[in-house]
Amino acid sequence: MGVKEVKPWGVNVPFIILSIVYWALGGLSLRFDVSLHPYFMLLGAYSLFFGMVQRLFFPATKYFPLQILTLVLLAVPMYYFQIFASLTLSLTEVWALIDVKRYGGKSPVNILVLSSPPLSVIAWLLHQDLWVMIIPLLTYTLGVNIGVFTSNLRTRPLFGVKQIPLLATVLLTAVFHWLYYVIGIIYLLAIFRFTVGKGNLSAYITLFSVSVSPLMSLLLGDVFHSFFVGVMSPLFFSCIVYSTSRYNYGLVWVPVLLSFASYLSRDVSLALAGLIWALAFLSFLYLIKDSFTLHTIRYGVSRLK
pLDDT of residue 105: 66
Neighbours of 24 (CB within 10 A): 14
CA angle at residue 229 from 227 to 233, to 5 degrees?
A: 95
Which has the closest alpha carbon to 91: 50, 125, 124, 129?
A: 50
Q: What is the mean pLDDT of residues 86-115?
A: 89
Rounded-to-integer distance, Cα 67 and Cα 93, Å: 10
Tens of pLDDT, residues 217-227? 999 988 999 99
Look at 9 and 304; give whichever has higher pLDDT.
Answer: 9
Contacts of 74 (CB under 8 A, 6+ apart): 15, 18, 43, 46, 47, 50, 81, 82, 85
pLDDT for 1 equals 41
Q: How far is Cα 89 from Cα 55, in angstroms, rounded to an integer? A: 12
Instruction: Please tell me the pTM assigned to this model.
Output: 0.94
239-261 pLDDT, tens per residue?
Answer: 999 999 999 999 999 999 999 99
Beta bridge partners of 60: 8
Spatial contact of 247 and 304, defined as CB atoms under 8 Å apart: yes
210 contacts 187 by C-beta, under 8 angstroms = yes
293 by Cβ neighbours in 10 Å (0-12 / 13-18 / 19+) ranks as: middle
Q: Closest Cα to residue 214, out of 234, 235, 231, 237?
A: 231
pLDDT for res 7: 85
Whole-number Cα distances in Å, 83 to 63, 105, 201, 283: 19, 30, 38, 31
Angle at 192 between CA 186 and CA 194, to 5 degrees: 105
Residues of the chain with pLDDT > 70: what percent? 95
Secondary structure (3-state) at 255: helix
Q: What's the pLDDT score for residue 299? A: 74
Alpha-carbon gap, residue 268 to 166, rounded angstroms: 34
